Amino acid sequence: MSQTPPSSPPGDRIAKVIARAGVASRREAERLIEEGRVTVNGKVVDRAALNVTAKDKVEVDGKPLSAPAAPRLWLYHKPTGLVTTTKDEQGRPTIYDDLPEDMPRVMSIGRLDLNSEGLLLLTNDGGIKRRLELPSTGWLRRYRVRVNGRPTDAMLEPLRTGLVVDGQRFQPMVVGIDRQQGANAWLTVGLREGKNREVRRAMMDIGLTVNRLIRVSYGPFQLGQLKAGAVEEVRGRVLRDQLGLEPDKDDTGTAKAAKGAPRRRVTRTPRKPSGR
């Protein structure tokens, strides 16, 4: 006699619901749950393996979740000297100190370290963040890299075939020499994953020191002429084309763009003083 497998509980995992509301990424939502900062129907949640439905009242730090906003995506030209985190234990300024005051709550897709600059994608949607950070997405991340030394194609070959640094395997990179400039050389590097300080560590392993690193593209999204510290919102039509998102039903919504409209909306702002 065959047994009918138990059906899954209705609703979605609570961390997914929190992420969809733009409060935090799914991983950060799980941390909020572990810290006892999430309640469902007035009771503190102690496990992430919980499904909730629209009938449940979910609160984070005593504040009810708002209805999920339309997914949005921004291009941000991160300057050097900022860390990609909401709070820094060492008191260093973060990218969130630099963003326009009228920006909604956003999360970064991946990171750029303190001394790196260039294109950083920001989103209000935890699902988009998770999806675009996965190597399985297959998007190439391209960097202009300045190194001290005189690299040759033979020297760069280990990067193209893949190497192991400190016990961690790096996938093959696309590497080309652009030009030699005195004691430094400019390279273009492309990779499809985002391990911590991967380009710097890989270059160091073959005897080259990175003294400037600029991310110029992330998949189909380009840094272009976006100035340092500037933010540019990706239009809904582009989100739909590149990510397969459904357009917003509201004509004024972010996820729907009028025919013939420009691809992006631009917000530029000088960096705000961090007060540090």
Catalytic residue numbers, as ranges: 113
Report yes or no: 76 and 59 within 8 Å, Cβ to Cβ: no
- 83 - beta bridge partners? 94
Give dist(CA 255, CA 257) in Å, integer. 7
Q: How many whole angstroms from its chain centre is CA 25?
A: 10
* The three-state (H, E, C) secondary structure of the chain, written as one string: CCCCCCCCCCCEEHHHHHHHCCCCCHHHHHHHHHCCCEEECCEECCCCCCEECCCCCEEECCEECCCCCCCCEEEEEECCCCECCCCCCCCCCEHHHHCCCCCCCCEEECCCCCCCEEEEEEECCHHHHHHHHCHHHCCCEEEEEEEECCCCHHHHHHHHHCEEECCEEECCCEEEEEEEECCEEEEEEEECCCCCCHHHHHHHHCCCEEEEEEEEEECCEECCCCCCCCEEEECHHHHHHHHCCCCCCCCCCCCCCCCCCCCEEEECCCCCCCCC
Opening angle at CA 208, ends 204 and 209, nearest 5: 75
